[in-house]
Every structure is written in C-alpha cells, then in structure tokens.
Chains A and B, each alone.
Chain A
Amino acid sequence: MLRNLKFALNSAWQSFWRNLAVSLAAVVSITLILILAGVNLLVGHALSQVLDGFRVKVSSISINVADDTPLQSVYDMQQQLKSDPRVVSVKFVTKDEALAQFKADPNNIVFAQQIDGNPLDAKLEVRVAKLSDVAEIDTLARRWPGVDPTDPTNYQGDFVNRMLQLSAWLGIAGVGLMAVLVVVSIVIVMNTIRTAVYHRRKEIEVMKLVGATEWFVRGPFVLEGIMTGLIAASIALALLVVAYPPAVDRFRADIAFIPLSYDPAFVVSLARDLLVGGALLGALGSYIGVRRYVRI
C-alpha cells in the first residue's frame, strides 16, 4: 500500500513536470476558477458583514413608555421581555437618560438648545435575537397598556422585511453563483485533464496490459490533479490576498455609504476554502477525466 502510494506520488510528480505545458494549462484554468470563487466568497463575506451591521441595528426596537405609566408596570414589562426566549437583552432608559443621549448626539446640538423641558419618552430598548421575530415583539409591545399610544415603537416593518428579503436573495444568489462556478470548473478541469490523459493513453494501455488495477492507474492521475489544484489554489490565494485590501479601500472611496471593511481573519478561512476546493476540484476532475481510459 505504502509502496503503491510512493510509486503514485513519484509518477504524479514526474508526470506533472514531463507534461508541463498541459499541467500549466490545468493550473491556469483552476487558478482562474478559484479566483472567481474567491472573489465570490470575499464579496459574499463583505456583503454579509454589511448586512450583519444593518441587522444589528434593525433587530433592536425601542418601546416608548407613556409618561403616566407606573414604574412597577415598566419593571414588569421589562421582566416579561427578559424571560422571552426571542429577546437577547432589555435596557430601561429613563426620560432623563433619553434626553442626555439625545443631547450627546452631535447631530442634535441645535435642536437640544431649543428644547424646553423634556419632551422625550422613557423607553425600553429591546434587542431581539432574530430579525424575523422583531415584528412579533413589536405587536407584543403595542398591546402593553404602558406604551405611548402616539408613538408606540420605532419599528419600521417595511424596512425590516426588505432587509430580510435582500439577505435571503443575496444568500440564494451566492449559493447559485457558487454552484454554477463549481459545475463549470469541474467541466473545464475535467476536459483539461482529459487532454493530459489523452497524451498518456499509451502509458495507460501498457499499465492495463501488465495487470495494473484501475486504482493503480488512476492513483497518479488523481494525485497529480490534487497537486495541480493545490498549486492553482496557492496562486489564486496569493493574488487575492494581495488585491483584497486595496480593492476594499477603492470600494470604500467610491461607494462610501456601504460600510465595507477589510477582515484579516477571513483570509484564513478563504485560504482553507480555496486549498480544499482546489484539491477537490483537481481530484474530481482527474477522476472523471481519466475514467474513460482506465476502464478495462
């Protein structure tokens, strides 16, 4: 077994260099595919970061408390919300704190000077775990007698629904694009490797005639495919890592309202995905590509 593996590794390595032109063609095609996949992952990650930011914002809801509501009733409501599994946290903000917060915001300086007394409501700031549950918490809040009937909550149903829809569509689009990339790449890699195998069909014929098992013939090709995939993944990764920060800077400069950010931690998971993806792609492409010639 170990001897066969050594032989397969040796053959794969030799064959990679002996058929350098075809090997390079395979490396280039896998590299291009992996760059596309990597860009897809990076864009997907950046968008999900942006969406996460929005999600945190809109998954918080402020319940405005009417001025005449007894404090005990507010505490009861706060307790009820805290014990709700859909709720992450509840914070009671008194009228004074609300005013202080309002005045602290530099956008409100002019307003704050004109305010006479304290027109702001006390509020319960509720963070909900899932964006889809915010609507139900809003309904619950509106039924509470202590709520300010003129301005019960800051919940913007339409915006949240649109956010949910957008995030669902982006998820589907990302998966769809990835699926298309995977299928296209397997077909390209398979054909590239089939060309490489075609050049070596005589070798395969001899292997079969001297009694090589299908896996003995296939092994070196699959290993060569994995090697090709890993080389391609390394090149694609290097290019993406170099291009990622300046691309983010450029994007931020051009489209300032989308808070895109550079995430160095994501590079690690990108590296893992690309290397595993490249190796799998090479292996699968070789396995399918060599199949026609290996069958005895």
Chain B
Amino acid sequence: MLLTPDFDTRPVISFQHVFKTYPTGTEALRDVNLVVPEGDFVFLVGPSGAGKSTLVRLLIREEKPTKGKIFVDGMELSRMKRRQLPYYRRKVGLVFQDFKLLPNLTIYENVAFALRVLGEPDRLVRSRVADALETVSLSGKENTYPSNLSGGEQQRVAIARALVHAPRFIIADEPTGNLDPATAWEIMQLFLRINARGATVVMATHNREIVDLLRRRVVAIDAGQVARDDRSGRYHDDVEKPQVRAQ
C-alpha cells in the first residue's frame, strides 16, 4: 500500500519498496514507500529504533537498501558509482544531532569547509560564508572555535555549513535533540526559512512540541514501516494510539 499523498509538484525523493536488513540480521526497514515533492518539509517521527536514522543514512547513501529503489532527483542511489557519490552529497545539506563540527577549525573555517571541498575561489568563499553566518545570526563569531559556543550556536554553525553551498535538499537527523526548547524553536525557524527559499527539508525528530506546532507533513515510522503519512500531521496519531498520548 502506498501511503503517499498526491502532490502536484515533481517528486525529488522517492522510496520504492525499500527494505534494509543489517548484516546482524536486524530488519531496520520493511517495504518503505515514500514520495517527497520538491520544496516539501517532511518530519520523520517514530520511537527510537523505528528506522528513522536508517532512512536518513539511506538518503545520504551511507547505506544501500537490501531491496527496493531510492531515487533522489532522478538518480537511483544504489546504482550510483562510488566516484559519483561526492557530487551527489554536494547537492545535499546535512545537519546532525551532534553537529559534526571540526573542533580545530574556527567557525569561519568550518562553514567554508563545504565550499573548499568544491574548490570554490577565496572571494566567493568569503562572501558565501558571510551570508550563511548572517542567515544563522552568527556574524562576528567567525574566529571563534566551536568549543566556545553554546549547543544552539554550534547547531547554527552546522546549519550555516549545510546551506552555504545552496543545496536543494536539507536532511537533518535530530537537529534539535541536544537543545533546550527555546533554542530548538530558534533552529526550527531557520529550517522553515531555508524551506521557504525553496529547499526540500527532510527531518528526523523526536521533538513532539515542534511537530505539533508546525503542522507540516509527518511521516511516522514504526517497526521499520511507514505507519502514517499525514500532509498536515501531528507527532502522534491521537485516534490510533491513545496509549502513547497518555505517557
């Protein structure tokens, strides 16, 4: 069964009967079908171990599906050659719960890193990094090291790095997981702004308040399957799972 809402816009991400079984035998995903149109904002929700992170890892091609196909922007990820992978990842902006900043590089260098990899000229790097840091309200902290920033600020640096090369997709894995509610909310505002500019955002999250407040598309994963796909959803399906709401 395809639990996919009908969208008018072109699909940019498409999971077709995707299965993922790890070598240990753990069945992380079972027959996942999912279509994400361009410019969409999708929350992936579900309990820990449900398969959200596996789905994210498949999307950034850290893992390959055991069965099924994943298309991103017309490319089938599992058929992509190793040497093509860097070029695919340059289209994607990635944000993680643990920020993945390089501690021995300054804020400026961390953000510039995504452009250095592309071999962009210094002048362009300078102006793009300045823009990205301004977007995340960190102008003036260019020469600071990550260890001197708060968690929220570090995540803003990670977001600046994810968007500095103007990617078409942002994939975020628990980006607010380590942040207090107020900071989490600030970070979400950033993602909404990036999405408003046209980038497709796929975000795995446990943050119930934010999901419920924003009422965006919610794809619930449970036991490796898409349990629910609501166009304007909430964190829990109140009718089907009252016991979860009671917790």
List of A residues within 8 angstroms of B90 by Cβ: 210-211
Q: A18-B104, A203-B102, A209-B100 are in contact. Are A7 and B116 (CB under 8 A)?
A: yes
- Are A211 and B116 CB-contacts (below 8 A) given A205-B100, A206-B100, A206-B102? no
Complex interface: chain A residues within 8 A of B85 (CB):
296
- Beta-carbon nearest neighbor of B104 in chain A: A18
Nearest CB of A to B9, in Å: 25
Asked if A211 and B118 sit within 8 Å, CB to CB, the answer is: yes
Residue total for B at the interface (Cβ-Cβ under 8 A): 23
A208 interface residue per 8 A CB criterion: yes
CB distance from A203 to the nearest CB of B (A): 5
Instruction: Confirm or deny: B215 has a beta carbon within 8 angstroms of a beta carbon on chain A.
Output: no
With A and B bound together, what is the CA distance between A210 and B90 in angstroms? 6
Q: Does B25 have its Cβ within 8 Å of any Cβ on chain A?
A: no
Q: How far is the CA of A18 from the CA of B161 in the complex (A)?
A: 23
Residues of A contacting B88 with CB < 8 Å? 211
* A-contact bits for B64-96, CB 8 A (1 contact / 0 none): 000000000000000000110111111010100
Measured between alpha carbons, how far is A4 from B121 in the docked complex, in Å?
Answer: 10
Q: Nearest CB to that of A10 among chain B residues?
A: B116
Within 8 A of A (CB), among B127-156: none
Q: Mark B28-72, 1 if CB is under 8 A from A, else 0.
A: 000000000000000000000000000000001000000000000
Pick the most buried of B102, B116, B121: most chain A CB atoms within 10 A of its CB: B116
Q: Please tell me which one of the listed residues A4, A203, A296 contacts residue B119 in the complex, with CB atoms under 8 A apart.
A: A4
Number of A residues with CB within 8 Å of any CB on chain B: 20
- Shortest distance from the beta carbon of A123 to any chain B beta carbon, whole Å: 74
**CB of B113 closer than 8 Å to a CB of A:** yes
* A207 and B117 contact, CB distance less than 8 A: yes
The answer for the CA separation of A205 and B121 in the assembled complex, in Å, is 23
Give chain B nearest CB distance to A219 CB in angstroms: 11
Instruction: Kindly state the separation between the CA atoms of A216 and B89 in the bound complex, as whole angstroms.
Output: 14
Residues of chain A within 8 A of B86, CB atoms compared:
208, 211-214, 216, 296
B114: Cβ under 8 A from any A Cβ: yes
**Residues of B contacting A3 in the complex (Cβ-Cβ under 8 angstroms):** 119, 121
Q: Are B100 and A211 touching (Cβ within 8 A)?
A: no
**What distance in Å separates the Cβ of B161 from its nearest Cβ neighbour in chain A?**
7
Closest to B60 in A: A209
A178-211 with Cβ < 8 A to chain B: 202-203, 205-211
The residues of A that contact B89 with a CB separation of less than 8 Å are 208-211
A210 touches B117 (CB 8 A): yes
Residues in A whose Cβ lies below 8 Å from that of B114: 210-211
In Å, the complex CA distance between A203 and B89 comes to: 16
A211 and B87 in contact, given A202-B100, A202-B102, A206-B102 (Cβ under 8 angstroms) = yes
| A210 in contact with B113 (CB, 8 Å) | yes
Q: How far is the CA of A3 from the CA of B119 in the complex (A)?
A: 6
What residues on B are CB-neighbors of A206 within 8 Å? 100-102, 113
A207 to B83, CA, bound (A): 14
User: In the bound complex, do residue A209 and residue B94 qualify as a contact, i.e. CB atoms below 8 Å apart?
Assistant: yes
User: CA separation between A273 and B87, bound complex, in Å?
Assistant: 40
Q: List the 5 shortest-distance A-B pairs measured between CB atoms, nearest first.
A: A211-B90, A211-B89, A210-B114, A212-B117, A211-B86
List residues of A whose CB falls within 8 A of some B CB: 1, 3-4, 7, 18, 202-203, 205-214, 216, 295-296
9 sampled A-B residue pairs with Cβ under 8 A: A202-B100, A203-B102, A206-B102, A206-B113, A208-B86, A209-B100, A210-B114, A211-B90, A296-B82
Known contacts A202-B100, A208-B86, A210-B89; can you find 4 more A-B pairs with CB under 8 A?
A4-B119, A206-B100, A211-B86, A211-B118
